[in-house]
Amino acid sequence: MSSKRPNQLFRNMPAKVAAIPMVVTALFIFVGGTAWTVVYSFTKSGLLPRLKWVGLDQYERLWGTNRWLVSIENLAIYGICMLVLVFVIGFILAALIDQKIRFENTIRTVILYPYALSFVVTGLVWQWILNPEFGVQGIVRDLGWQSFTFNPLYSPQIAIFGVLIAGLWQGSGLVMVLMLAGLRGIDQEVWKAARVDGIPTWKTYIFIVIPMMRPVFITTLVLVVTGIVKIYDLIVAQTGGGPGIATEVPAKYVYDMMFQAANLGQGFAASTMMLVTVALIIIPWAMLEFGGKRRV
Amino acid sequence: MDAGTGRFVRHKPCYFFREENMKSIRMILAGATALGLSMSVANATDLEVMHWWTSGGEAAAVAEFAKAFDATGNHWVDAAIVGGEQARAVMVSRITGGDPMGAFQFNYGRQSEELIEAGLLRDLTDIAKAEGWADLVNPPSLLEGCTVDGRIYCAPVNIHSWQWLWLSHKAFADAGVPVPANWADFAAAAPALVAADKIPLAMGQQGWQQSGAFNVMFAALIPQEVFLAVYGDKNAEVAAGPEVAKVFEAAATAREMSANSTVQNWNDATNLVITGKAGGQIMGDWAQGEFAVAEQVAGKDYSCLPGLGTTEVLGTGGDAFYFPVLKDEAQIAAQGELAALLLKPETQVAFNLKKGSLPVRGDIDLAAANDCMRKGLALLAEGKLLPDTNQLLTPDTANQINTLFTEFFADPSMTAQAAQERFAGIIENAE
């Protein structure tokens, strides 16, 4: 009989010991905190948490509240537009810069620069740019085009797109840089082969290069999506949720309920719903992404 | 120092720790300790006081408190936060997070209910007894707002009433119409104001201002029993009834009148009235302070109509100071001194004249009071009073009503009827 196989648990001991603090943090703070929030979302917690069960009351009220429904709708509009546009703009910018142009470093820095600004600064800057008296509309009117109207932040129907512009301005640079890194990682031989075969450049990008950049796309997707779901500071700085409730978002609903309305239960219910929404998107995707590979 | 570095020093003598240097270091340390001790003896106790009094008139008023408190040998550390909603969020998270300040301002009423229940706020009953607050606070309902289970938890400092209409004489002169005497006249004068390129009604685009204006119309335009039935007894049927429908009609009129008012903060809206760009504003008596800072004279440059000039009535809301439970003896003593000081006659006079609010004691003479304050004092003496919405509604319900009116005022397509239905729904679920 050969000696027993070493216990899997004790293999690579130093690495496991080193990971313990992170594991503990993840378990107690992230998982524990999440569980605590979910539990208390079934209670009637006011200013302070207390275990007074009310069943699904908080959720019923949440889904009966117009402001929450508007928040969800806004997040969906902002999220889908942001996701599509930031990828399109980011990739096109990266592809343009990749044409071995002059002053590449300068242009790259200029485009990435907005990302170095916080959302609060971005929000305030765009609040001024979109202000009808001092911003774009005012300048064009001063040039003589008196009937020119461009004030998205003051019309409830399109105010969320005013926020979207600011979000795109801030986020496109990062996507561009990531895409550029991906493009530079493509072997030049691929390009040469495509040219020999007489494939047009745009077709090479779409059918050969982009599929090869899959890992970069996934990294970027995760970064962009988490940025979208947690959007809060941009809204607070740029519109404060207004005009009316036209640019409210779920994260702001959670904050306002917890700290202004002194209704923790309602805030917890809303944040639990945010978690469920994210889980509904992430879990099927993760199963497809990681579960699929094992079967192959 | 020796224990920690001993081994290291033995192996490789370090210049810094040589004997002669150690001597001088010890002397410096001893000197610093002595200096520190003497400073803390001479220095009075620092007490951090949080409030949201940041507009011109408010800041001038709170400076009176700080001056009086510093004169007692203590030190007022001012921690002002812009905006009541933000300020309350910060205060509550600091208290519940175990990092309480020395004292903080709240509106009395139900905002502090849970903090008191959780035992986070200091019981002031002894100080109140020693100072005789029960006899001198007028109206007595103010002290009731501070009382939970027979114990007193806050020091009321002023009476603020929401029910005022502020009118700019300049705006009406420019429009060529006389200054109105009540809400109906004002609404009728709106077209003339619009024709003269004025905003009839200045209104900040914030929920608390919009729902506040609604509550004022609610208290003034229809019989008060309805107000009390809806907000006091939470009677949803009355809230859905025909009397309240009239108030929503008036709110729809106010929405039209304030259509071009794009300012956010209440004092910016007041400034529109001060400069004559807007005809009037429905705002609490704290607006008085802004007129005073702008050196306007009541009755000459502006008018004030309590109860919108229709039903003369005042709500008895206001500000109070609460004191979190602390551990440090010196700070506890300073809290006590501050609590007693806030209701002293001299402090009350100095503070309320700057703030534009009414004092909480009936026994002091406000000789310097202007026209508007006198109107308020007269109503107070006659007892034409209503409880404030802060005393009747939980912050949660108030927040729901705020959101409703934010939507209502921003969206002209929302009918008065639809708004009233939702309002009745909120009242039905209110506590």
Bridging pattern class, strands B314-315 and B385-386: parallel
Phi/psi class of residue A217: alpha, beta or left (left: φ > 0; alpha: ψ in -120 to 50)?
alpha
Is A47 near chain B, with CB under 8 Å?
A: yes
Q: Per the CB < 8 Å rule, is B114 touching A48?
A: yes
Q: Which residues pair with B159 in a beta bridge?
A: B358
Model confidence at B14, pLDDT cuts 50, 70, 90, reads very low
Residue of B nearest to A236 (CA): B86
Mean pLDDT on B41-45: 59
Q: What is the mean pLDDT of residues B388-395?
A: 87
Set of chain B residues whose Cβ sits within 8 Å of the Cβ of A48: 96, 114-115, 118
Dihedral (CA of B237, B243, B244, B249) sign: positive
Contacts of B111 in chain A (CB under 8 A): 262
Does residue B405 have a pLDDT over 80? yes
Position B125 pLDDT exceeds 60: yes
Q: What pLDDT is attached to residue B24?
A: 56
CB B161 within 8 A of CB B314: yes
pLDDT > 60? residue A195: yes
Distance from CA of A262 to the nearest CA of B (A): 6
Q: How far apart are CA A186 and CA A86, in angstroms?
A: 22
pLDDT tens per residue across span A227-242: 898 899 999 999 888 7
Q: Does any CB of chain A come closer than 8 Å to the CB of residue B375?
A: no
> How far is A281 from B142, CA to CA, in rounded Å?
53
A243 close to B (CB below 8 A): yes
Q: Domains of chain A, with CATH numbers?
A: 61-295 (1.10.3720.10)
Band (pLDDT 50/70/90 cuts) for residue A145 is: confident
Q: Say what the pLDDT of residue A293 is.
A: 56
Return residues 259-278 of B near A (CB < 8 Å): 262, 264
Q: How far apart are CA B79 and CA B406, in angstroms?
A: 29
Hey, are the CB atoms on B89 and A263 less than 8 Å from each other? no
Rg, chain A, Cα only: 24
pLDDT of residue A146: 85
pLDDT tens sequence across A34-47? 999 999 999 998 88
pLDDT of residue B2: 38
Q: Which of B85, B114, B411 sits opposite A47 (nearest CB)?
A: B114
Please state the rounded mean pLDDT for residues B38-63: 79
For residue A148, the model assigns a pLDDT of 86
Q: Chain B: nearest CA to A144, how far in angstroms?
A: 23
Whether B408 shows a pLDDT value over 70: the answer reads yes
pLDDT of A115 reads 92
Phi and psi at residue B158, in whole multiples of 5°?
Answer: -160, 170
Of all helices (H) and strands (E), which one includes residue B112?
none
Query: A244 and B85 in contact by Cβ < 8 A?
Result: no
Angle value at C-alpha A72, between B426 and B263, nearest 5 degrees: 70
Q: Is the pLDDT of residue B50 over 90?
A: yes
Lookup: tokens for B333: 């003593």
Report the pLDDT value the prediction gives residue B16, as an integer from 0 to 100: 45
A132 pLDDT band (50/70/90 cuts)? confident
Mean model confidence pLDDT for chain A: 89
Please report the pLDDT score of residue B39 as a whole number: 43
Would you call B118 an interface residue with chain A, using a CB distance cutoff of 8 Å? yes
If one counts every other C-beta atom within 10 angstroms of the C-beta of residue A37, the result is: 17
Q: Is the pLDDT of residue A97 over 60?
A: yes
Check pLDDT > 90 for residue A178: yes
- Nearest-CA neighbor of B251 among B400, B404, B86? B404
Whether the per-residue pLDDT at B173 is higher than 90: the answer is yes
- Does position B210 have pLDDT exceeding 50, yes or no? yes
Residue B33 has pLDDT above 70, yes or no: no
Per-residue model confidence as pLDDT tens digits over A243-286: 889 999 999 999 999 888 888 999 999 999 999 988 888 888 88
DSSP-derived 3-state class of residue B159 = strand
Q: Residues of chain B with pLDDT > 70: what percent?
A: 90
Residues 166-225 of A with CB under 8 A from B: none
Is residue A5 predicted with pLDDT exceeding 80? Answer: no
Q: pLDDT digits over B251-295, tens only? A: 999 999 998 888 888 989 999 999 999 999 999 988 888 898 899
- Domains of chain B in start order, with CATH, are 47-160+317-383 (3.40.190.10), 164-311+393-429 (3.40.190.10)
The verdict on A49 touching B (C-beta cutoff 8 Å) is no
Distance to chain B for A66, nearest Cα, Å: 9
Q: Is the pLDDT of residue A290 over 80?
A: no
Stretch among A136-150, B26-40, B398-412 having the lowest mean pLDDT: B26-40
For a pLDDT cut of 90, what percent of chain B falls above it? 50
Sheet holding B319-322, edge to edge: B75-80, B46-51, B103-107, B319-322, B154-156
When pLDDT is averaged across residues B92-106 and rounded to a whole number, the result is 90
Q: How far apart are CA B427 and CA B212, in angstroms?
A: 16
Q: Which pLDDT score is estimated for B366?
A: 72
Confidence class for position A289, pLDDT limits 50, 70, 90: confident
Task: Indicate if the pLDDT at residue A1 is higher than 90.
Answer: no
Dihedral Cα B266, B270, B275, B276, nearest 10 deg:
120
pLDDT of A244:
85
Sequential DSSP letters for chain A? -PPPPPPGGGTTHHHHHHHHHHHHHIIIIIIHHHHHHHHHTTB---SS----B-TTHHHHHHHT-HHHHHHHHHHHHHHHHHHHHHHHHHHHHHHHHTTT-TTHHHHHHHHHGGGGS-HHHHHHHHHHHT-TTTSHHHHHHHTT-TT----GGGSTTTHHHHHHHHHHHHHHHHHHHHHHHHHHTS-HHHHHHHHHTT--HHHIIIIIIHHHTHHHHHHHHHHHHHHHHT--HHHHHHTTT-STTTT--HHHHHHIIIIIS--HHHHHHHHHHHHHHHHHHHHHHHIIIIIHHHH-
CA distance B339 to B128: 9
Residue A7 pLDDT? 72
Residues B146 and B152: beta-carbon distance below 8 Å? yes
Q: Is the pLDDT of residue B306 over 80?
A: yes
Mean pLDDT confidence for A62-67:
92
Q: Give the confidence band of B23 by pLDDT, cuts at 50, 70, 90.
A: low
Contact of B110 with chain A, judged by CB distance below 8 Å, is answered with: no
Q: Name the band, by pLDDT with cuts 50, 70 and 90, for residue B245.
A: very high
Using a CB-CB distance cutoff of 8 angstroms, which residues of chain A are in contact with residue B410?
Answer: 156, 242-246
Residue B32 above 70 pLDDT?
no
pLDDT above 60 for A294: no
